Structures are given as C-alpha cells and as structure tokens.
C-alpha cells in the first residue's frame, strides 16, 4: 500500500464523504490507524426456529418482477425494510432510521439503520450501486460507533437490498474484517436473517 495522507486535518467529513472519496478502503482506514482484512468470516448464527422466513421469501419473490430498483429509496423500502422489520419482531429490539452520530469532525453523520438489542447492536449501510464504497462507509461508521459504545466486537452490514455483505470491527486489534461471502435475497434470506438474529441475540460463534 502506498503511504499517503488522504484526510485533511482541518476539513470535516461526514460518513457519506467516505463513500465519495476515490481511494481504496484500506487507505482510508489507515487514516484512523485501522487495518483491513478480507476473509471468510465465522458469523454468529441463531439456532432458533424463525417461522416467518418462508413467508417473507415468498412475498419478495412474488413482488420482485414488478419492482423498479433503480434508486436507493426503492431498494430500502421494498427489500431492506421488510427484512429489518422481521428482525425487530424476532429479537424485540430497537430499530433506528437515520441515526445521528457525532464523534468528531471526521466521524459524523447519519447511520442508515442502527439495530440494538439488550445483547448487541448492528450497523447497516444501504447503497444503490457500489458495495465496495458502501463497505468503506460502513467501516468508518463502525469506527465511530466504537467511540461511543463499549463492546469487544462491532458488527455491521452493507446492502443493496438484494445483496448483503457483513463486516466486523475488533477495537483491540484495530482491525476491520470484511467478509468475502455475499448473501443474496431472496435465495440466501434464511441464512441472512439467522446471522442477524444471531448477532443481536449475542450468539456465541
């Protein structure tokens, strides 16, 4: 990696700014003294029976042919929100939209979604067309969250609605781990939901 300074000391950056910067994820994370590791992650996975997943999968399959998914709003409302509302029902957890977080001039903005249970939390970033830059934004949001919450591991996901990718932050190692695997909706919906419920239930890996 080329050693170069990206962020300007006296400039302010929102979370969205990191999506728009034309630099690699690892270069941006280095500005916060974090490293990036891409790997096949072992994610929490609930063993609970979640009886409504098949119904949600059928609804999504039935409506997808009639949806225009050309905008981020369309993807959020038709694909992301239905999944998260089911997560809330399974976990009895808080779902916050456009959650404002202001740590400092480099770490501030709105999280698209923040899901919080008594055991854990999950940061979710929605993007329309670029999962790589979307993950960069998510990673910086996880760094910001690590400044305001006391946890050993922070989990997050970036999604285009029909595709999801997970990541996690280890504050002790100052490392962001990016899962090389993708979850596709509706095909991988059961695994996707069981991972998110596993995270929020505090399931042991």
Residue 3's pLDDT is what? 67
Question: Could you give the 3-state DSSP secondary structure of residue 175?
Answer: strand
- What gap in Å lies between CA 182 and CA 175, rounded to an integer? 20
Q: Is the peptide bond before 186 cis (omega within 30 degrees of 0)?
A: yes
Residue 1's pLDDT is what? 52
Report the predicted TM-score, pTM, of the whole model to 2 decimal places. Answer: 0.95
The interaxial angle of helices 81-91 and 53-63, nearest 10 deg, is: 170
Q: 203 pLDDT band (50/70/90 cuts)? A: confident
**Tokens for 105?**
């001039």
DSSP one-letter code for 180 = S
DSSP code per residue over 49-103: --TTHHHHHHHHHHHGGG----SHHHHIIIIIHHHHHHHHHHHT-EEEEEEEEEE
Q: Is the CB of residue 27 less than 8 Å from the CB of residue 1?
A: yes
Residue 47 exposure: Cα atoms within 13 Å on the Cβ side? 3
Residue 96's pLDDT is what? 97
Residue 2's pLDDT is what? 58
- Residue 94 scores a pLDDT above 70: yes
Residue 69's pLDDT is what? 84
Question: pLDDT for 35-81, tens place per residue?
Answer: 999 999 999 999 998 888 999 999 999 998 888 888 888 889 999 99
Tell me the pLDDT of the chain averaged across its residues: 94
Question: pLDDT for 102-140, tens place per residue?
Answer: 999 999 999 999 999 998 999 999 998 899 999 999 999
| Over residues 128-155, mean pLDDT | 95
Q: Is the CB of residue 49 less than 8 Å from the CB of residue 60?
A: no
Give start and end residues of each alpha helix (H) in the chain: 15-20, 25-30, 53-63, 72-75, 81-91, 131-148, 189-200
């Amino acid at each position: 990696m080329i050693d170069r300074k990206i962020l300007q000391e006296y400039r302010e950056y929102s979370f969205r700014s990191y999506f728009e910067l034309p630099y690699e994820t690892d270069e941006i994370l280095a500005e916060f003294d974090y490293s990036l590791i891409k790997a096949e992650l072992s994610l929490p996975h609930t063993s609970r029976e979640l009886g409504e997943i098949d119904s949600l999968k059928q609804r999504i399959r039935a409506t997808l042919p009639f949806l225009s998914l050309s905008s981020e709003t369309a993807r959020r409302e038709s694909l992301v929100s239905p999944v998260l509302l089911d997560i809330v029902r399974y976990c009895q957890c808080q779902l916050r939209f456009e959650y404002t977080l202001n740590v400092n001039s480099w770490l501030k903005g709105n999280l698209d979604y923040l899901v919080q249970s008594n055991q854990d939390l999950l940061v979710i970033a929605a993007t329309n067309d670029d999962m790589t830059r979307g993950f960069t934004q998510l990673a910086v949001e996880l760094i910001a969250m690590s400044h305001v919450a006391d946890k050993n591991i922070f989990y997050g996901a970036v999604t285009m609605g029909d595709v999801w990718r997970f990541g996690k932050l280890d504050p002790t190692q100052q490392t962001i781990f990016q899962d090389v695997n993708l979850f596709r909706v509706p095909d991988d919906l059961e695994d996707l939901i069981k991972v998110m419920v596993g995270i929020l239930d505090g399931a042991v890996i």
